[in-house]
Structure 1
Amino acid sequence: MKKPPIIWLNVSLFAITFLSAVILVPWRGIVHGYGASEWIAFIVLAFASGLSITAGYHRLWSHKAYKAHPAVRFMYALGGALALQNSALHWASDHRIHHKHVDDNDKDPYSAKMGFWYSHIGWMLREYQSQRYHDYQNVRDLQNDRIVMWQHKHYLALVLLMNIGLPALLGWLNGDVLSMLLMAGLLRLVVVHHCTFFINSLAHVWGSQPYTDKNTARDNGFLAMLTYGEGYHNFHHIFENDYRNGIKWWHYDPTKWLIKSLSWLGLAKDLRTSPQERIESARLQMQLLRTKNKVVHLPNADEIIEKVQAEYELLKLHLMDYYQAKKTLLEAKRKQLVDQQLLQQVEELKARFLVQQKHWRSLTATYS
């Protein structure tokens, strides 16, 4: 089968920036050295560009997980140009197709089933999706966003301004333009590129699947540290409209913290979260599936599976009863109609759920 034509602009861009970063950056460090200013600029611009992708391109524009003030969207547009990952319009279009057709080698732009290299960077090196490159029908909502369209129209100029002009200005202010261009410009760009690309590659092959096995996405706490919180990818692929990726308070997800902080400042609103009972149900379903798979070869497999299934159904019942009661309580609080009987009912249902949950964990641990 004949391979699609090579996109020489992309090949040249990735090759030149990567080779320059691994050769010129160390060379400059050896012969001249880098000061604190270059390192600080590297870190600040890495977070500015990376978070513009994760909080802006991804969770805001691709998934509509929250609404942001125009000033925030403007900063995301500049930061997205700094990240050099195409315009927000194009990025979001690709990403929505990825979620709609995940792991479909014919339709997913960066299907993980095409291999690590392809999903990491190879999909951008050839015209695999040339027939729909300028088809933005799936992002018509974004075409009504003036900031998105302004960035799309002036993308090249913004890329040059943010990746050359900004580091050069910082270098001029610091008295060392070349060092700043290499650190805050070149090295920062390459690092952010490949950390972002890890979400399409490593996050689909390395990690756990606590919520679904219907696709290749994985949860990986280490990758979350490299990708501004995007490493909880298994959760994201089943609850894509949630503004969080890391749902526990201790999950490293600076993108979530940024969005929440913006909401406290009045710069973001309508933050979407998935119902807790749906999250728990997805987790329980995967635990049930794994337990069944582990005991299927045992002599008394049918008996064990029947027992596990019964305990699962009972836990699901307690789960739904408890969360339904919690919803009723919240609604009553809004209407200022809370009574002691309702509070007591919620506590009783919670206690039953926790007891059954403990029993379930003990049972599944027996066959782990």
Structure 2
Amino acid sequence: MKKPPLIWLNVSVFSITFLVALIGVPWYLWAQGLSLSLFVAWVVLALWSGLSITAGYHRLWSHRAYDAHWTVRIFFALGGALALQNSALHWSSDHREHHKHVDHPEKDPYSISRGFWFAHIGWMLREYQEQRYSNYENARDLQKDPIVMWQHKHYLALTLFMNIGVPLLIGLLIGQVWGALLFAGFLRLVLGHHSTFFINSLAHIWGKQPYTDRNSARDNGFLAFLTFGEGYHNFHHIFSGDYRNGVRWYHFDPTKWLIGVLSWCKLAWNLKRTNPYQIEKARLEMLMQRLSARKQSVAERLQQEYDDILADMRAYYQSRKRWYERRRMVRSLK
């Protein structure tokens, strides 16, 4: 089957940012080192862009897990442009399709059933879903949000300003223009991109399934650390409307904490929580399913061992029978 045409803009962006970060960052570290001001700028922009994806694009707009004040939505819209992962409308539309058709090889935009590479980045390199982006019919509610539509309409200008203009301004302020472009620009983008992409790829093949095995999503604490709490993906896929991904108190979920702080400041409300009974019910059902499977496995193993013993006994007694028959035959000949 003929492959869809390449999206050369995406191919170029991913290739250029990766190569510049790979070559430029080690060179700069060797030539100039990493100052405290440059490190702070890098971390601040990484936090802004990363949390704008997790708390904004994902939990606010894709799943409507809470409502937020317009100032928060503008903050996330700008941070989303800084993250360079397309507009909130486009991103949320893709993500809703992913949840609706998870693991389907054609309908899930980044289905893991098509392999790690496809789920991680390959799905963005070709026109696999071109016809679906004409009206974003699965995101009609978001089209009523003026901030979402403002960002969508002006996305190119916003993302150029946020990813070139802002690092450039920071570089001028701290006297390290190239350092700011490399660390707060290129390196931040590469790390931010691939940590997000790991949720689409690694979080569907590596980890535990404590709540459901009806899809490939896994809980992975290591990925949660890389993605501001998004790694508890098995929980998320069965309770996607919950504003939390890490439901336990000890789970590392900075996105949940940020939303909680916003709620305390009256900047977020209607935080949706899954009934604890439903969570424990799902967990216990999976536990019983595993115990039943283990019990069945033990029973099958015992049955197999029993059958093997019977077969060995049958062979032994048949061998003895033949030996006695030959012995009687020899005696009769004498």
TM-score, structure 2 normalization? 0.89
Does the 8 Å CA contact 1:105/1:113 hold for their aligned counterparts? yes
Residue type of the alignment partner of 2:100 = K
CA distance in 2, matches of 1:26, 1:124: 28
Structure 1 unmatched ranges of 5 or more = 303-368
Does the 8 Å CA contact 1:295/1:301 hold for their aligned counterparts? no
Match of residue 129 from structure 2:
129
Q: CA deviation at 1:31?
A: 1.4
Q: CA deviation at 1:135?
A: 3.1
Query: What do residues 90-109 of structure 1 show as CA deviations (whole Å, max 9, x unaligned)?
Result: 00000000000000011000
Q: Tell me whether 230-239 or 21-30 shows the greater mean CA deviation.
A: 21-30
Question: What is the number of equivalent residue pairs in this alignment?
Answer: 302
Does the 8 Å CA contact 1:218/1:232 hold for their aligned counterparts? yes
Structure 2 unmatched ranges of 5 or more = 303-334
CA distance in 1, matches of 2:92, 2:66: 15
CA distance in 2, matches of 1:256, 1:299: 44
Q: CA deviation at 1:300?
A: 8.1
Residue type of the alignment partner of 1:231 = G
Match of residue 57 from structure 2:
57
Distance 1:135 1:295, change over 3 A: same
Match of residue 248 from structure 2:
248
SS at match of 1:262: helix
Match of residue 5 from structure 2:
5
CA distance in 1, matches of 2:200, 2:22: 23
Query: What do residues 299-349 of structure 1 show as CA deviations (whole Å, max 9, x unaligned)?
Result: 4899xxxxxxxxxxxxxxxxxxxxxxxxxxxxxxxxxxxxxxxxxxxxxxx
CA distance in 2, matches of 1:297, 1:75: 53
Residue type of the alignment partner of 1:48 = W
Does the 8 Å CA contact 2:38/2:176 hold for their aligned counterparts? no
Match of residue 193 from structure 2:
193
Residue type of the alignment partner of 1:31 = A
Q: CA deviation at 1:43?
A: 1.0
Question: Are residue 290 (structure 1) and residue 290 (structure 2) matched?
Answer: yes
Query: What do residues 201-252 of structure 1 show as CA deviations (whole Å, max 9, x unaligned)?
Result: 0000000000000000000011000000000000000000000000111100
Match of residue 41 from structure 1:
41
Q: CA deviation at 1:298?
A: 2.7
TM-score, structure 1 normalization? 0.81
Match of residue 356 from structure 1:
none
The structure having more radius of gyration, on CA atoms, is 2
Match of residue 88 from structure 1:
88
Distance 1:300 1:205, change over 3 A: closer
Does the 8 Å CA contact 1:42/1:184 hold for their aligned counterparts? yes
Match of residue 239 from structure 2:
239
Question: Are residue 108 (structure 1) and residue 108 (structure 2) matched?
Answer: yes
Does the 8 Å CA contact 2:171/2:179 hold for their aligned counterparts? yes
Q: Percent identity?
A: 66
SS at match of 1:298: helix
CA distance in 1, matches of 2:238, 2:252: 19
1:1-368 equivalent positions in 2, closer than 5 A:
1-299=1-299
CA distance in 2, matches of 1:300, 1:123: 42
CA distance in 2, matches of 1:134, 1:46: 31
Residue type of the alignment partner of 2:45 = L
Higher RCO (C-alpha under 8 Å, 6+ residues apart): 2
CA distance in 1, matches of 2:110, 2:300: 43
SS at match of 1:110: coil
Q: CA deviation at 1:38?
A: 1.1
Q: CA deviation at 1:34?
A: 1.9
Residue type of the alignment partner of 2:145 = D
Residue type of the alignment partner of 1:233 = H
Match of residue 352 from structure 1:
none
